[in-house]
Structure formats: C-alpha cells, structure tokens
Amino acid sequence: MEKIGERLKRLRNKVGLKQGEFARRVSISQGMLSGIENGNEILSDRNMKLICLEFGVNLDWLQHGGDEPIFKSQELTSGEKELLEIYDKLIPETQKEVRDYANEKLELQELREKTVGRDALKQAPGGTTSPLEAPQEGERQESIG
C-alpha cells in the first residue's frame, strides 16, 4: 500500500514542482517535505489541508490514496472558484498572507467550536457573529465600514 509520503511526492511531480517550490507554496521547509516524502516526518492534518487547498487535490485521496491524484476542480462551487481565481492573481507574498490569515481564522473557529459548540456558532446572531463576539450587556456594537 502506498504511503502518504509517496502520494505527496507523486502529487508534487504531477504538478511539476521541485521540493523547494512545493514546500514554499504550503509554508513548510524543504527539509520537512523531504522527510515527509521519505517517511521520516509526519504530515500534519493542517498541512494536509493546506496542500489540498493550494493544489486543489481531494483530501480523501491524499489521506487514503488511489490510482491518480483526485483534483477538486469539478467539485468546486462558484464561490470557491472565484476565491481561487483571485488567489491565483496575487503575488506569492500576498498569497502567503492570505493563507496565514485563513489559518488564524480557522484556529479561532476551531477554538470557538470547542468552547461553545458548532451548533451555537451556526445559531449566532446574524449568522456571522459568534456568541464570543456578540456585545456584552452594557457594551455597544461598533459598525464596520
């Protein structure tokens, strides 16, 4: 059975990138990527998600394998496609800033889910503000923009 490092190397070769460029695009070191490909390092869940986002590959394929990498291009919604088109137009430094920002938001969301539960977040006032962000009694809510 093919290991995850072997699938990662196959994906890297399929997209035509050397280790350094592939690693840069997913914000890990070339040494770490080499270790993962050789089975000496573990690919974290977070890095798996970054790889899938960056290269449009299906997470299930990366985790469990199959004949060829399964790219998500046909599975994307119009909003996802729009976001990827915008992202592709950004310079590499800005792409990294976007990934870092998204990771910060994801960490915050995961923390909130652990603290108040996913259902409470979905039912938050306005659908976008979590109970943790809602104004407390006596506070006023500032408008943005």
Note the pLDDT of residue 119: 65
Topology (CATH) of 1-75? 434 Repressor (Amino-terminal Domain) (1.10.260)
| Per-residue pLDDT tens digits of the chain, which is 145 residues long | 789 999 999 899 988 899 999 999 989 999 999 999 999 999 998 899 899 888 888 888 888 887 777 676 556 677 877 888 888 888 989 989 999 998 899 889 888 888 876 666 666 555 454 444 444 445 444 444 4
The amino acid at residue 93 is E
Q: How far apart are CA 93 and CA 87, in angstroms?
A: 11
Prediction pTM value? 0.49
DSSP assignment of 72-106 equals: -GGG--HHHHHHHHHHHHS-HHHHHHHHHHHHHHH
Note the pLDDT of residue 70: 67
Domain ranges (residues) in the chain:
1-75, 76-121
